[in-house]
Structure 1
Amino acid sequence: MKKIRSYTSIWNVEKVIYAINDLKLPFPITFNQMTWFVLSLFFVIFLANVPPLSLIEGALLKYLGIPGFTAWFMSQKSFDGKKPVGFIRSIYRYYTNPKVIYSEKKVSEQKVVMEVNVTYVRSEMLGLSN
Structure 2
Amino acid sequence: MAEEKKQSVTVYSYRKVWFVEKKIYAFQNIVLPFPIAPYEVLEFLAVVGAMLVMGRIFPILNNIPVVLRYGMLPYVTVKYLMKVKLDGKNPVKYFCGYLRFLFTRKECIERFRICRDHGVTVRINWNCGRRLE
One-letter amino acid matched to 1:81:
G
- The farther-off stretch of 49-58 and 31-40 is 49-58
**What secondary structure is seen at the aligned counterpart in 2 of 1:103?**
coil
**What secondary structure is seen at the aligned counterpart in 2 of 1:68?**
helix
Q: Which has the higher strand share?
A: 1
Q: State the partner residue of 1:50.
A: 57
The equivalent position to 1:103 in structure 2, one of 90, 100, 109, is 109
Deviation at 1:71, TM superposition (A): 2.2
Q: What TM-score, normalized by structure 2, do the two folds share? A: 0.54
Take 2:64 and 2:32, find their aligned partners in 1: how far apart are those partners?
A: 27
**What secondary structure is seen at the aligned counterpart in 1 of 2:75?**
helix
Please, which runs of 5 or more residues in structure 2 have no aligned partner? 1-11, 111-133
Q: What TM-score, normalized by structure 1, do the two folds share? A: 0.55
1:109-120 aligned at under 5 Å gives the runs none
RMSD in angstroms over aligned alpha carbons? 3.2
State whether residues 53 and 62 of structure 1, in contact with CA within 8 Å, keep that contact through their aligned partners in structure 2.
no
State whether residues 44 and 53 of structure 1, in contact with CA within 8 Å, keep that contact through their aligned partners in structure 2.
no
The equivalent position to 1:63 in structure 2, one of 64, 67, 70, is 70
Report the structure number with the largest CA radius of gyration: 1
**What secondary structure is seen at the aligned counterpart in 1 of 2:56?**
coil
Bigger relative contact order, structure 1 or 2, given CA contacts below 8 A and separation 6+? 1
Please, which runs of 5 or more residues in structure 1 have no aligned partner? 105-130
State whether residues 37 and 68 of structure 1, in contact with CA within 8 Å, keep that contact through their aligned partners in structure 2.
yes
